[in-house]
Amino acid sequence: MPTTFKESSQQPCRPVLLAGLRTDQKQNLEYELTELKNLALANNLQPVETFLQSLDRPNPATYFGKGKVDELKVAVETYGADLIVTNDELSPSQIRNLEAETGATVVDRTGLILDIFAKRAQTKVAKLQVQLARLQYQLPRLRTSMSVSLDQQTGAGGAGFTSRGSGETKLEQSRRRLTNEMVAIKKDLAELQKDASTQAKQRQESELPTVALVGYTNAGKSTLMNQLLARFGQGAGSDQSKQVFEKDMLFATLNTTIRQLTLPDKTQFLLSDTVGFVSKLPHHLVAAFESTLQEAAQADLLLQVVDISDAHYQEMMATTQETLNRLGITDKPMITIYNKADVAEMAFPLVDGDQSITISARDRTSQDEVLTLIKKTLFADMAEVSLHVPFADSKVVAEILDKHALLDQDFNESGTTIRVSLKPKEIEQYKQYLA
């Protein structure tokens, strides 16, 4: 079972060795190793060397071949690095054997991502979701010969344990403890998700369309959301607590934030920022965060934010699409936003039809062009109509103009004629006033 590691105040940048295996099935190994390095950095680790080996198939005992294992052992001694992170998920026996051969702790990619999520989780729901994913990851890795130790992040209130006894008794005791804790977490999550479902229902009843930001982690979703919130979100320009956390790192935030935007023409919609994706995202995490990611599934429009300055942006787009497919999100209208054009030294904003735009998220003109595309998609069914409202029903005019911009207005002896853009449902609602 992989050993959980933590950031150390004494060693803010713990040296680590990265190792990957190329097989016939591996097409993007260099990209994955670059990503693995960024994941390590996001977990306060300092990669000092990356090892790569080509094999037809993984070694069933140590994953890597004997020559590469010997190289890793020498590197551990040379760099004083007591941690090796592998690009793929290893079996418990492979981890144990590799640790015995190299004298270092071995953590696979899945364990690394789970550890990052555990440290990033802030809300009660996120903490429980990560905790559940870690237990699900650890359960099949229990072995009769192992002494299982979970840290304080693996159980509420420091509910870690060390199995005692021997043989099947120890294994079954460990499994029972983990299973019982998983049941308790699922129960707590179910209660919390009832509240989330109630809130979602209230948002649907508000009839405001919803837009969800999706995409690869660190592509600039939170930056774009904060820029729009500062301009069009209630109080977000002066109160930073109403904005979302942003930082140049993978998985800076795991929280889904939903805010209402009101544009100058009184157009309103809800904007949500979802957890970022990454290639080979552990299926336990996808399952655990499925309720959080359902904001994307329920949205009327998806905005896929892509870091166009990254040489691997196409692979990142493929990762996003793969993750959406895993969540069953396949038929949503989507606008692709190629962000960080300033870093890539590309012209911006550059609009390409109604489904694609190249921008810099901090550029106001770029933001305006994004909003134009959003409005074209979300409010495509709106139509300009003229309404003649008798003076006796003047409250109707106030009601309409509270939600919609006035395009034209005229008066005569019988009432007020206004020209506005309305949704089909609203046209039906006010059909008696159609001029």
pLDDT in tens, 117-158: 888 787 788 889 889 989 988 888 876 433 333 333 333 333
Residue with tokens 């979602």: 200
Length of the chain: 435
Number of Cβ atoms within 10 Å of the Cβ of 54: 12
pLDDT, tens digit, 9 for 90 and up, residues 226-275: 999 999 997 655 566 566 666 665 665 666 788 999 999 999 999 998 77
Q: Which residues contact 282 (CB under 8 A, 6 or more apart)?
A: 89, 110, 113, 114, 133, 137
Give the pLDDT band (50/70/90) at residue 204.
low
The strand pairing partners of 247, in sequence order, are none
Specify the pTM.
0.79
Higher-pLDDT residue of 291 and 407 is: 407
The whole-number pLDDT of residue 223 equals 93
The tens digit of pLDDT for each residue in 342-393 reads 999 999 999 999 999 999 999 999 999 999 999 999 999 999 999 999 999 9
What is the pairing mode between strands 415-422 and 383-390? antiparallel
CA torsion 229-234-240-241 (nearest 10°) is -110
Is the pLDDT reported for residue 281 higher than 50? yes
Q: Are 389 and 418 in contact (CB under 8 A)?
A: yes
pLDDT at 146: 39
Is residue 67 pLDDT above 50, yes or no? yes
Q: How far apart are CA 21 and CA 139, in angstroms?
A: 26
The position carrying tokens 């959406």 is 324
Q: How many CB atoms lie within 10 A of CB 319?
A: 22
How far is Cα 408 from Cα 420, in angstroms, rounded to an integer? 7
Q: Are strands 45-54 and 105-108 parallel, antiparallel or unpaired?
A: unpaired
pLDDT of residue 160: 35
Using the predicted structure, report yes or no on whether residue 199 has a pLDDT greater than 80: no
Q: Phi and psi of 170, rounded to 5°? A: -65, -45
Indicate the pLDDT class of residue 165, thresholds 50, 70 and 90.
very low
Geometric angle at alpha carbon 64, from 61 and 66, rounded to 5°: 85
pLDDT value of residue 250: 63
Report the pLDDT value the prediction gives residue 1, as an integer from 0 to 100: 36
Closest residue by Cα to residue 7 from 90, 102, 112, 149: 112
Q: Percent of the chain having pLDDT more than 90? A: 57
Q: What is the pLDDT of residue 282?
A: 77
- Mean pLDDT of the chain, nearest integer: 84
Angle between helices 124-138 and 290-298 (to 10 degrees): 120
Q: Residue 400 has which token pair?
A: 């309409």
Q: What is the dihedral of CA 7, 145, 168, 185, to 10 degrees?
A: 10
- Cis peptide bond upstream of 58, omega within 30: no
pLDDT category of residue 412 using cuts at 50, 70 and 90: very high
Tell me which residue of 266, 264, 198, 215 sits closest to 404, measured CA to CA. Answer: 266
Instruction: Say which range, 5-9, 63-67, 96-100, 213-217, has the weakest mean pLDDT.
Output: 5-9
